[in-house]
Amino acid sequence: GQNIDQPTEMTATEGAIVQINCTYQTSGFNGLFWYQQHAGEAPTFLSYNVLDGLEEKGRFSSFLSRSKGYSYLLLKELQMKDSASYLCAPALNYGGSQGNLIFGKGTKLSVKP
Amino acid sequence: DSGVTQTPKHLITATGQRVTLRCSPRSGDLSVYWYQQSLDQGLQFLIQYYNGEERAKGNILERFSAQQFPDLHSELNLSSLELGDSALYFCASSPSGGGNNEQFFGPGTRLTVL
| Closest Cβ opposite residue A101 in set B45, B106, B107 | B45
B41 pLDDT band (50/70/90 cuts)? confident
Instruction: For residues A72 and A61, give the distance between their C-alpha atoms in angstroms, rounded to a whole number.
Output: 8
Does B8 sit behind a cis peptide bond, omega within 30 degrees of 0 on the bond before it? Answer: yes
Under DSSP, the state recorded for B83 is: G
Instruction: For residues B13 and B85, give the distance between their C-alpha atoms in angstroms, rounded to a whole number.
Output: 11
Interface test with A, best of B23, B34, B102 (most A CBs within 10 A): B102
In single-letter form, the type of residue at position B27 comes to: S
- Using a CB-CB distance cutoff of 8 angstroms, which residues of chain A are in contact with residue B56? 96-97, 100
- Using a CB-CB distance cutoff of 8 angstroms, which residues of chain B are in contact with residue A36? none
- Which residue does chain A place closest to B96, by CA atoms? A99
Report the pLDDT value the prediction gives residue A96, as an integer from 0 to 100.
55
Q: What is the interface size between A and B, counted as CB pairs within 8 Å?
A: 69
| Closest Cβ opposite residue B45 in set A40, A50, A100 | A100
In single-letter form, the type of residue at position B3 comes to: G
Report the pLDDT value the prediction gives residue A97, as an integer from 0 to 100.
58
In single-letter form, the type of residue at position B18 comes to: R
Q: Convert the pLDDT of each residue in A11-47 to its tens digit.
A: 999 999 999 999 999 877 889 999 999 998 999 999 9
CA distances from A15 to A34, A111, A113 (A): 21, 9, 9
